Amino acid sequence: MKSRTNQLSKIMKNNKPADYLKEIKRIFLFHYPEKDFHPINKAYTITKNLFEGNYPGYRSCNTQYHDFHHTLDATLAAVRLLDGYSLGKKPMVNETARDLIIAALFHDSGYIQTKSDYRGTGAKYTKDHVNRSIEFLAQINGQLKLSGSSVERISWNIQSTGLNTSFNDIPFKSREERTAGAMLGSADLLGQMADRDYLEKLLFLYYEFREAGVPGYDTEFDIIRKTRGFYELTDSRLKNEYLNVQRFSRFHFKTRYHINSNLYTVAIKRHMKYLNGIIDDEDTNFRVKLKRGDQKMIKSKVTK
C-alpha cells in the first residue's frame, strides 16, 4: 500500500471504532492466523461495550482524555510496532503477540466506574487505574477463556503502562515477553502524544489530574508548561526502559506505506515545536492557539 502523506493522522481515512478494528486486524493477519484474532475480537467487543456504558455493572466512560479513542490509538500503535518487529527481526510467538494486543485493549479499563459509583468521574482512579484494569481482566476472563499464563502475561503488559512502575522490575518470563511489554508501554505513550488533537486534549488531562489530586497542576497552563518536561522524560523512557522498540515502527511504515520514517516521533516532535511556541509567547492566551479537536467540549471544560 502506497501513501503520499507523511502525516500519521492521514494514514487512516476514517477513525470510527470499526475502522480501527479493521486496520488492527489487517496488520495482525500479516503474520498470524485468523484464529488467533478471535480472542482479540472478543476483547474489543467487551472493551467497546465497557467504554460505551453497555457492559453490565459499569457506567460509560466519562474521562475525555483516557477515552475509547485513546485505547484504540494505543492498540493500533501496538500492532504497528508488532508488525515492524516481525519485519525487522522475526514474528513473536503467536500467544505473546495475541496477548499484547489484548492487553492494549484493556490497559485503561480501570478508569471506568461501576454502576454504584456516582462520586466524581473515573479520573479519580488515575493513580490506581492500572491495578483496576488488571482486576477487570481477571473478572472477565471467563468470556475470553485464556490460560493462566496468558492472563499473567497480559497483566504484566498492562503493568508496563504504569508511569510510576519500574519496568525493569516486572518479572517477565522471557526476553520476548519483556519486548512485548515494552511495546505496549511505548504504544500507550506514542498513541496519545502523536494524536492530532494531543495539545488540545491536554486540557482534559489537566482536569483528570486535578480530580485525582495529582500535585503540581494548579492552573490549566501548568499542564501546557509541564508537558515539555514530560516529553523529555518520555523520550528517555522510550529509548531506555522501553528498549527503544519504537524504532520498529519505521519498518512498518516503510514496508506498508513506502514511508521511511517513524511517523509517531515525527508527529510528536511537530507537537512539541508548536507547544514551545505557545509557552514562549507570553502575549497571547494559550487557548487561542489550540484550535483542533472538539472545541465545544474544550470550552465547556476551560470555562468551569
Place of cell 523520550: 235
Identify the band that residue 296 occupies on the pLDDT scale cut at 50, 70 and 90.
low
Span 148-173, average pLDDT: 97
Among the listed residues 169, 302, 186, 198, the one whose alpha carbon sits nearest the alpha carbon of residue 248: 186
pLDDT over 90 percentage in the chain: 86
- CATH number of the domain at 12-302, please? 1.10.1300
Span 14-20, average pLDDT: 93
DSSP-assigned states of every residue in 25-64: HHHHTTTS-GGGGHHHHHHHHHHHHHHTT-STTBPPP--S
Sequence-distant (≥ 6) Cβ neighbours of residue 38 within 8 angstroms: none
Q: Does the pLDDT of residue 272 top 80, yes or no?
A: yes
Identify the band that residue 13 occupies on the pLDDT scale cut at 50, 70 and 90.
confident
Identify the band that residue 303 occupies on the pLDDT scale cut at 50, 70 and 90.
very low
Lowest mean pLDDT among 194-203, 279-288, 292-301: 292-301
Q: Does the pLDDT of residue 294 top 70, yes or no?
A: no
pLDDT at 35: 98
Q: Does the pLDDT of residue 301 top 80, yes or no?
A: no
pLDDT at 304: 45
pLDDT at 9: 87
pLDDT at 7: 87
Q: How far apart are CA 204 and CA 206, in angstroms?
A: 5
Q: What are phi and psi of 64, to 5 degrees?
A: -75, -20
Identify the band that residue 48 occupies on the pLDDT scale cut at 50, 70 and 90.
very high
Q: Domain-by-domain residue ranges, the chain?
A: 12-302
Q: Which three cell numbers stand for residue 90?
A: 522475526
Q: How far apart are CA 125 and CA 61, in angstroms?
A: 12
pLDDT at 295: 43
Query: What per-residue string of b and e applies to 224-247 under the rule 16 or more CB within 10 Å gives b?
Result: beebeeebeebbebbeebbbebbb
pLDDT at 20: 98
In the predicted model, what is the mean pLDDT of the chain? 93
Identify the band that residue 14 occupies on the pLDDT scale cut at 50, 70 and 90.
confident
Structure confidence by residue, pLDDT tens digits, 115-142: 999 999 999 999 999 999 999 999 999 9
Q: Alpha-carbon torsion 113, 300, 215, 209, what sign?
A: positive
